[in-house]
Structure 1
């Protein structure tokens, strides 16, 4: 995904104003945007993210010291919006809530809440949703009944310098195919993700915000339970034999011609994005298999729709097909009007159109096995896969 972090500018930041006890409400010139400026840390924190940011959880992570708060809310959310609707008026989820809390010397919590699906007129404008890091490491599912991810860009250092992580929680609303995506970037000083006792601190704000947002916007999604343990994102050197895979790579075949015999994977536990990284015997990368659900599937298709240089059909045009010389995609219909799931297989370490002697039959077989297991675990239909 091309998205990284929060987008947009013009955030209003409020520092502690000593002696000012009354809250001030400012209406921004931008229609639909409300910016709160308060005279005390606690009042600003209570108002952040349209009032759904959990002050107790944020304080538990950042401490009771001085903080600065920035906040912006714009757009609307409609639980009746359908993901597959072509009528622009039926895809009117423009809700975008952003807030950030920073504690000097302690860290920061940055939150985005986005309604999905977005109007098609928003495609190609800065991206649709914040991403979860997924370059050298694989994000892991939150589990505990949540549809969510926990990821980081940092290589594990086994010291106190890697305290940055992103948590995403997807709320599939009770009707209409609409959803809320809550993304929280947490940075904590003096904390390492290697410490299993510390990792829940990076997650607690996201799940508590999701619970409050679910009620605030009448989403009616199924919620998970408190996350007391969370896995560690999977590093590049954590590959295992593909034949023994039990998670996102389960059922994917090996390939002698492509020298595919190892895999990096995560558990498959309602995660809205899944990855299976295939490699050679020494772990060197060969292919990436990716599954996208809900807003992440919408985002991926929107990026292809905004790529005029792409020759031939893309995932934005049809359910299945071939991209370039060595990439395929498939799709599956998901329940309750949700966005169709999207599945991709791509050669690792090279552009799709520069592959020499690509092993196309294997790529189709790997994609089919991966997509079928992933779709089944999410309650989606049998995937439409490419024929050649």
Structure 2
């Protein structure tokens, strides 16, 4: 799935400077693309179409030696989707970097099946946790253990549901800081502040009119692979999901229940070894997940054509209407065991039961209706 990979890379400074003068002139004449590379306060203040929260970036990277690249392409709005794609990157050599993307949603249908529609968040080895505090957002990392290679690097994503028309803005910020550790609860908010402040500026810049959250002074660590608990009594994203004797499902990894655009419940055997994975996608993430299926699965009915159904040997999907013209929510269950037992001998009745319970709980939490299950 495209949503389990890291965010797409921005152009490097060398690549940006290597664009020919003719291409730049054409871009400026057509108004399709505006980009620059520079350094200093002015470059930082103008980055990401002026929507970058420059003060927060300075507080993270420092006040001097900042190199900036930025590009703004497309427009926000339109009857057939929005083409807005904003990218900017701030780097301080030896200190760290901040990569920011702002994407308008939904995308035109012509973009489906051509690659990722939106930047992804790490969601494979660890489970992203909700930002909370009234924000529809996520905090994610490839590895949340002190001293591991992924420590000091994290991604924060914030989804703004705009007032009217089903449009939204997705702000994704990847921060990498040398010498920082995510294990320190005092450090983690620094990894989300830029995303939240940029979301506020983007809301005003593109007249989104979204309901914004409150300041965030603390954020949980993403959930590691060995942080499993008994499925019975689960109170987070795995709440209401049943156990299964035949499939040896009795443990779970979960995150808190909150208004987040991605939710995951990872089901496991008694020793925590993976069995099944349940995913809920909302807004742009649901649109992106559906858009990949025609390319990844080729022939056959996919979530693009029907609100619910079966994919392959051991996978089902369900859907729900979340109103406001937004993309239908998408819920998936897939075999996730390393040795392939769940795939080789799928317990289809349990898969449908688990998906129905997971989707019903998540849809209710998000205020979605008309849930359709396989």
Counterpart of 1:5 (choices 4, 7, 10) is: 7
Three-state SS of the structure 1 residue aligned to 2:200 is helix
Q: Which residue of 1 aligns with 2:42?
A: 43
Task: Give runs of aligned pairs for residues 81-100 of structure 1, distance below 5 A.
Answer: 90-100=79-89
* C-alpha deviation, 1:314, in angstroms: 1.0
- Residues 121 and 140 of structure 2 are in contact (CA less than 8 Å); yes or no, is this contact kept in structure 1? yes
- With over 3 angstroms needed to count, the CA separation of the structure-2 counterparts of 1:251 and 1:100, relative to structure 1, is same
Match of 2:311 in 1: 323
Task: Specify which of 328, 332, 342 is matched with residue 344 of structure 1.
Answer: 332
Which residue of structure 2 aligns with residue 375 of structure 1? 363
Per the alignment, residue 298 of structure 1 pairs with: 287
Q: CA deviation at 1:123?
A: 1.4
Is 2:128 the partner of 1:139? Answer: yes
**Residue 137 of structure 2 corresponds to which residue in structure 1?**
148
* Whole-angstrom distance in 1 between the partners of 2:345 and 2:55: 57
* Aligned-pair CA distance for 1:161: 6.5
Closer, same or farther: CA 287–181 of 1 in aligned 2, 3 Å: same
**DSSP 3-state at the match of 1:286:** strand
Kept after mapping to 1: 8 A contact 2:10/2:89: no
- 8 A Cα contact 2:129 2:140, kept in partner: yes
Instruction: Give the distance between the partners of 1:293 and 1:233, measured in 2 at CA.
Output: 19
Distance 2:61 2:12 in 1: 24
| Inter-partner Cα distance in structure 1 for 2:66 and 2:25 | 23
Cα deviation, 1:293-330, whole Å, max 9, x if unaligned, reads: 000000000000223534x2111110101111111000
For 1:17-59, what per-residue CA distance to the aligned partner results, in whole angstroms no more than 9, with x for missing partners?
xxxxxxxxx9553341112355x50010011000011111100
Matched ranges for 1:1-388 at <5 A: 1-2=1-2, 3-7=5-9, 9=11, 28-30=25-27, 31=30, 32-38=32-38, 41-78=40-77, 90-158=79-147, 162-307=151-296, 309-310=298-299, 312-349=300-337, 355-386=343-374
**Is 2:113–2:293's contact at 8 Å kept on the other side of the alignment?**
no
Normalising by structure 1, we get a TM-score of 0.89
| Deviations 1:143-164 (CA, angstroms, capped at 9, x unpaired) | 0110000000125135797100
Structure 2 unaligned runs (5+)? 18-22
- Hey, what's the Cα distance between the residues in 2 that align with 1:14 and 1:318? 42
Conservation of the 8 A alpha-carbon contact between 1:314 and 1:323: yes
Q: Quick check: 1:345–1:367 contact (8 Å CA) kept in 2?
A: yes
In structure 2, the CA distance between the partners of 1:28 and 1:250, relative to structure 1 (3 Å rule), is farther
Unpaired stretches in structure 1, ≥5 consecutive residues: 16-25, 82-89
The answer to whether the Cα contact below 8 Å between 1:332 and 1:375 also exists between their aligned partners in 2 is yes
In 2, Cα distance between equivalents of 1:4 and 1:288: 19
Question: More helix by proportion, 1 or 2?
Answer: 2
CA distance in 2, matches of 1:357, 1:159: 36
**CA shift at 1:350, angstroms?**
6.0
1: distance between equivalents of 2:338 and 2:220?
30
CA drift at 1:65: 2.2
1:157 and 1:369 map into 2 onto residues whose CA distance is: 35
Cα separation, 1, equivalents of 2:150 and 2:349: 44
| Structure-2 change in CA distance of 1:328 and 1:352 (3 Å) | farther
Provide the C-alpha distance between the structure 2 equivalents of 1:5 and 1:66, rounded to a whole number of angstroms: 25
Q: How far is the alpha carbon of 1:9 from its aligned partner?
A: 4.1
Q: Measure the CA separation in 2 of the matches of 1:259 and 1:208.
A: 45
